[in-house]
Amino acid sequence: MPLPAQDNFNRADGGVGANWTAIRASGHTIVSNQCKGATAADHNISIWNADAFDPAHYSQALVVTQIAYSGLAVRGDVAGNCYVWLWTLGATGALYRVDAGTFTSLQTGVPAPANASVAKLTAEGSDLKMYIDGVQAGTTQTDATYATGAAGIYQYGDAGALIDDWEGGNLGAAATLYLLVAN
C-alpha cells in the first residue's frame, strides 16, 4: 500500500488486524471502532507492517479518551525498539526511547493532548518532535540510537484510553505535480 498508511479502526471488535505487528505485550485491540491496548498491566506497542517507512516519518492519531499512558511510536522494530511519546494521566506526557522493553527518558513534562486533539510524533535525522493540533509540544529532542523503523501506537494497559483515525507516513515526501495542458 502507498504511504501515508491510515487506519480508522472501523471494523469488528477484536484484534487490530494483519497490518499491525505487536512488538510489546499483545499490542492493540478494537473496541467500538476505536483502538486501545490489549493487555492489562503491560506496555502495548504496535507498529504498522504493511508498508516500508523512510527513516524520516511520523505517527499521528486522534485522541478520543486520554485516560492514562497512551501515545504514539516511531522507528519501531520487531525487536521491541522504538521512540514513544506517551501521555500520562492529566496534563503532561513524556518522550522515551524504548530499548527492547527498557524505557529511557528523553524528555518529561511535555504537554499532553486533550480529548479531540490530533497528536503527532515525528522522527527526522536524529530529531524527535511532538505536536498537538499542529503546534510543537515540548522541545526538539535529539537521539540517534534508532535510525529506521515503522510508525505505530502505544498504550500501557487496557483501561479505557482510546485513539482513532491513525496515520503514519514519510516526512518530506516529494509531491507529484501533474500539469494539465489545454489544447
Q: Is 1 helix (H, G, I), strand (E, B) or coil?
A: coil
Residue 65 pLDDT: 82
Q: Residues 90, 37, 167, 147: what is their CA dihedral angle, to the nearest 10 degrees? A: 90
Please give the sequence-ordered ranges of beta strands (E in DSSP) within the chain, or none if there are none: 5-7, 14-15, 20-24, 28-31, 34-37, 43-48, 57-65, 70-76, 82-87, 92-99, 102-111, 118-124, 127-132, 135-142, 150-156, 162-170
Residue 70 pLDDT: 87
Q: Give the pLDDT confidence of 76-118 residue by residue, as tens digits.
A: 999 999 999 998 766 788 999 999 989 999 999 999 898 899 9
Rounded to whole angstroms, the Cα distance separating 74 from 70 reads: 14
User: Domain 5-170: which topology?
Assistant: Jelly Rolls (2.60.120)
This prediction's pTM: 0.91
In the chain, domain spans: 5-170
55: its cell numbers: 527513516
Residue 25 pLDDT: 86
Cβ atoms 128, 106 nearer than 8 A: yes
Rounded to whole angstroms, the Cα distance separating 22 from 129 reads: 23
Q: Give the pLDDT confidence of 14-34 residue by residue, as tens digits.
A: 999 999 999 988 899 999 999
